[in-house]
Structure 1
Amino acid sequence: MQVLYTASATSTGDGRSGHVRTADGILDLDLVPPKEMGGAGGGANPEQLFAAGYAACFHSALRAVARGTKADVTDSAVEAEVGIGPNGAGGYGLTVALVVDLPAVERAAAEELMSQAHQVCPYSNATRGNVEVALRLRAAA
């Protein structure tokens, strides 16, 4: 694979209770475990960062696929819900639900666009076989 871009971020402190910063300084955040995991909450956490990245990446893939079909993706949106919990083997695992709004696209066509985007999106390709990812259509014409 020819790498087109590389992002670099460093975690310091205590990981989930630490700090992350990208090499270019654009992202510079303290991390706080959510209350549901025994933390104080009220701050950023790795699952939020993953959800934001996956939502943006999948939305981009969806719009790229839609361009090829000339589908109207006006007012489209993608929400990524990332869950974390014990995996039953002494570690933790993630789940993802991608909730897609395609209000100007007929349901069958919207489902096909989601399926195609799931094959194109780098996050989907990286998680396939490792993370349970559910595709859900929230709104369609």
Structure 2
Amino acid sequence: MEQHRFLLKADWPGGRNDVGFIETSNLKTKISIPTEMDGPGIGTNPDEMLLGAAATCYIITLAAMMERRKIPVESLTQESEGIVEVDKGVITYKKIIHRPKVILERNCTADQIETVKQLTERAEKSCMISRAIQGNVEIGLEAIVELAN
């Protein structure tokens, strides 16, 4: 069995509203509680990072699936939204909604268009991060698949 290890170093100076720092091999940023939760809102925060992990995993998985099937993609963009609920002081990450927009080259066939629609669903179930949070955070999908003009 092959394993990959990822290391994150964190430095937190003290209290709730302080500003810390995280570093990985490819990410270095300040961290704090977001302003939406009465924090300083400097750098990123766990809510954005979970959303970023889920969104990047999804879009990369979808791109790889389309590439393996040699589907001619003109562009692939995405917006993702995270919904966090605060109820009586308990904070819960409720839902992530991915909104990918796949623009296929004009010469795509009807079968390829249908395949891409199926892949948008399959990518969410195949993504490592989606599988890791499954049962804890609901994942929604609002995909658009179109032919280029």
Query: TM-score, structure 2 length as denominator?
Result: 0.75
State whether structure 2 residue 127 is matched by structure 1 residue 121.
yes
- Distance in 2, Cα, partners of 1:118 & 1:28: 27
- Distance in 1, Cα, partners of 2:47 & 2:63: 24
SS in 2 for 1:53: helix
- Distance in 2, Cα, partners of 1:40 & 1:115: 37
Inter-CA distance 38–51: structure 2 relative to 1 (3 Å threshold):
same
Larger-gyration structure (1/2):
2
Inter-CA distance 80–90: structure 2 relative to 1 (3 Å threshold):
same
1:74-85 to 2 correspondence within 5 Å? 74-85=74-85
Which residue is 2:118 aligned to? 112
Which residue is 2:3 aligned to? 3
Displacement of 1:133 in angstroms is 0.7
Deviations 1:76-130 (A, max 9, x none): 02322122122x5863221211110101177643331111111221111111111
SS in 1 for 2:21: strand
- Distance in 2, Cα, partners of 1:125 & 1:74: 28
- Distance in 1, Cα, partners of 2:16 & 2:73: 38
After TM superposition, which residue ranges in structure 1, 4 or more long, deviate above 4 angstroms? none
Length, aligned pairs only: 139
Alignment identity in percent?
21
1:10–1:23: 8 Å Cα contact kept in structure 2?
no
1:1-141 to 2 correspondence within 5 Å? 2-13=2-13, 14=15, 17-24=18-25, 26-41=26-41, 43-86=43-86, 88=87, 91-94=90-93, 95-104=95-104, 108-141=114-147
Displacement of 1:136 in angstroms is 1.0
SS in 2 for 1:36: helix
SS in 1 for 2:22: strand
Query: TM-score, structure 1 length as denominator?
Result: 0.78
- Distance in 2, Cα, partners of 1:80 & 1:89: 26
- Unaligned stretches of 5+ residues in structure 1: none
- Distance in 2, Cα, partners of 1:60 & 1:33: 28
